[in-house]
Structure 1
Amino acid sequence: MTAQGGAFDVVEYYHDLVAKDPSISMPVAAVSSLVKVVEQQRATTMSEFMKIVRAASEVLKEATHRSISVSAGCDVFLQQMARLSHAQGVEECRDALISAGNNFVMTAGQCRDQVAEIGSPFVRDDQTILIHSYSRVIMGLLHRAVKQNKRFRVYVTESRPDKSGLRAADELLKLGVPCEVVLDAAVGYIMEKVDLVLVGAEGVVESGGLINKVGTYQLAIIAKAAKKPFYALAESYKFVRLYPLSQYDLPTYRSDLLAFKDSGNVDWQTELQENNPTLDYTPPEYITLLFTDLGVMTPSGVSDELIKFYLD
């Protein structure tokens, strides 16, 4: 499916970006793809122009199964378009939107660096840190801590079903950081040895809660019960206009997840891969602080930032 029925395929372009650059975050890839849509289309009226971009955004969201991160990037781009459309003609809006989108892509990496800089004072010598899955922004923070000659140890959750924690462990070993991979089910077992917990985020919702790799919620519950600080790291472009009240309010929810089986001969390995959730929601009361490129925040500060962005 193409963005406007022509030759340009926004979904293919997005997947090519992600395949060529594994370090690119999904919101950034989404914005880059929509910039390309704007460059390719030649609408003559503002309404046609906005309709094409919105349609391309919707196609991209659907193709990525309503990915929280992709939706966040698309929404940032659409909000920028809405701002520019009020005071300018089509050509001026197109040029300004391309410029704004390219600037966002170029500065996105700086956001990750700023998060690492802001969070680094919380990593101290002789700490034992627990991280969940693989997060680029957390790895950036730990890279910075190593460069500052801090000595610490890291437990990494295996993070099923894709076992992405193994990637984080390999990267930490290359940095010379002592680490160990723990089973997701063993988080409670090792929590008393941990000084702090660090997690990334697919999205930060209006309440200040997190949408992240499945297993984050149970980790947060155990951390709170053990009175361990639970810190979340996220770039501000991952703030999303969602207000889930439960695990089943997420855009990625499917009614067939974890459906009971009533017959034999089930391939349980396939079942684990295909019919389990990949994300969960962690309510704000379990989060100690958020480290963002806008500064250190309590969860309640997220709503204020979203209001500033969307009502500015």
Structure 2
Amino acid sequence: MQQLLDTAEKIRTMEIRGAGRIAEAASAALRDYVLDLKVTNIKDFNKKVDEAANILIQTRPTAVSLPNAVQITKRHTSEDVAGAREDILHNADVFLKQAGEALERMGKIGAKRIHDGDVIMTHCNSHAALSVISTAFKQGKDISVIATESRPRRQGFITIRELNDYGIPTTLIVDSAVRYCMKEVDTVIVGADAITVNGALVNKVGTSQLAHAAHEARKNVLSVAETFKFSPNTILGDMIDIEERAADEVIDQEILAELPNVKVKNPAFDITPAEYIDMIITEVGAFPPQMAYTIIKEHLGWELSHMG
């Protein structure tokens, strides 16, 4: 259990960050926990697995990749512990293999949308988005990138380092310069923490204003997302919780203590309407956001009639 708790803490504190990486870490943690779980009764086994799953799921409320990965991993129909354990270990191995392959497939699919000479703007740090950008660059396309700082955690600093290591010409901008710099951009490419049934995009805070500026300037906006980032629960009308993070990510507590009339609001994500998104790139193809329900139904296998 300690190893699983350690992984949960790393997810909660953003030592492990990014929706895809969170999903993979959670699946692997649950697999390792089940491997060492020493119970003989199937009811006790299921109870322990559910408890472990809930610990992982509660670490980050917004990224649906996390509960989706956990649900996919823990799913089994066995009536005995040995069979259940084998099913879960198999589920995890398949999920992790497919997650790794998804990045490569999304890169190849998304790179077709990038043209020689394009300037690409990206936000935060998304392995999915970077897969598309780096694949296009490896194909010999002459591209450059404008990357935002992505405050307050400045995940953009991770992005520019990775782009630099690829050899891709990159410009770092402050978040508030997005609209000013949009005139130089051909395509906006971002990742996703969740996609709702109506095709709305939940991603790092600031994504919606970037997409709005792109829409205003008639620039294409692509979101790159594995199918496990689509949210089945939104079919039933559930809202995705927007995580509020600690004030000390924004301002030192000592300074805030001197300002009794000031409070800090620090949402980690925002919601971009589907009409601002031109295409969602997944490992199974490129789709308009209006096809989100089809993705949920056919690739997650969770239909409205099967949800309670």
TM norm. shorter chain > 0.5: yes
Superposed displacement of residue 251, structure 1: 2.2
Give the counterpart letter for 2:45 in structure 1. F
Q: Which of these residues, 263, 276, 290, is aligned with residue 300 of structure 1?
A: 290
CA contact (8 A) 1:191 1:223 kept: yes
SS of match in other structure, 2:232: coil
1:121-160 correspondence runs (5 A): 121-160=112-151
Specify whether residues 146 and 95 from structure 1 end up closer, same or farther in structure 2 by C-alpha distance, changes over 3 A only: same
Pick one of 268, 271, 279 that aligns with 1:278: 268
Q: Which amino acid is 1:75 matched to?
A: Q
Structure 1 pair 188–23 and aligned structure 2 pair: CA distance change class (3 A): closer
Structure 1 unaligned runs (5+)?
Answer: 3-7, 258-263
Change in CA separation of 1:25 and 1:265 when aligned onto 2, cut-off 3 Å: closer
Change (3 A) 1:279 1:98: same
Summarize the Cα distance change of 1:65–1:255 in structure 2 as closer, same or farther, 3 Å threshold.
closer
Whether 2:22 is the aligned partner of 1:30: answer no
| Residue 229 (1) aligns with residue 220 (2) | yes
Q: Which residue in 2 is equivalent to 1:12?
A: 6
The answer for the alignment partner of 1:55 in structure 2 is: 51
1:96-127: per-residue Cα shift (whole Å, max 9, x none)? 22112122113321111110011011111111
Q: Which residue of structure 1 aligns with residue 171 of structure 2?
A: 180
Do residues 207 (structure 1) and 198 (structure 2) align? Answer: yes
CA contact 2:128–2:224 (8 Å) conserved in 1:
yes
Q: 1:110-150 CA deviation, whole Å, 9 max, x = no partner?
A: 11111001101111111111111211112222221121111
Alignment gaps of 5+ in structure 2: 248-253
Which residue in 1 is equivalent to 2:61? 66
1:170 matches 2:174: no
Cα distance between partner residues in 1 of 2:19 and 2:290: 30
**TM-score w.r.t. structure 1 length?**
0.82
Q: Any idea what SS the aligned residue of 1:91 has?
A: helix
Letter of the structure 2 residue corresponding to residue 243 of structure 1:
T
TM-score by length of 2: 0.83
- Contact conserved, 1:224 with 1:286, CA < 8 A, in 2? yes
The residue aligned with 2:250 is none
CA-CA distance at 1:173 after TM superposition: 2.7
Query: Given that residues 42 and 79 in structure 2 are in contact (C-alpha distance below 8 angstroms), is that contact kept between their aligned partners in structure 1?
Result: no
TM-aligned CA distance change 1:273 to 1:54, over 3 Å: farther
Q: Residue 100 of structure 2: which of 109, 124, 127 is its match?
A: 109
Distance in 2 between residues matched to 1:21 and 1:218, nearest whole Å? 22
Q: CA deviation at 1:209?
A: 1.6
1:173-212 Cα distance to aligned partner (Å, 9 max, x none) = 3333222111211111111221111000112222222211
Residue number in structure 1 paired with 2:37: 41
| Conserved 8 A contact 1:128-1:154 | yes
Q: Structure 1 residues 265 and 163 mapped into 2: Cα distance closer, same or farther (>3 Å)?
A: closer
Identity %: 27
Tell me if the contact between 1:65 and 1:252 (Cα under 8 Å) persists in the aligned partners: no
The 1:77–1:208 alpha-carbon spacing in structure 2 relative to 1, beyond 3 Å, is farther
| Counterpart residue number, 1:5 | none
Distance 1:148 1:103, change over 3 A: same
For the aligned residue pairs, the C-alpha RMSD in angstroms reads 3.4
Shift, 1:274, TM fit: 6.8
Residue 268 and residue 114 in structure 1: after superposition, are their counterparts in 2 closer, same or farther (change >3 A)?
farther
CA shift for structure 1 position 51: 2.1
Shift of 1:16: 6.8
Question: What is the alpha-carbon distance in structure 2 between the residues aligned to residue 273 and residue 164 of structure 1?
Answer: 24
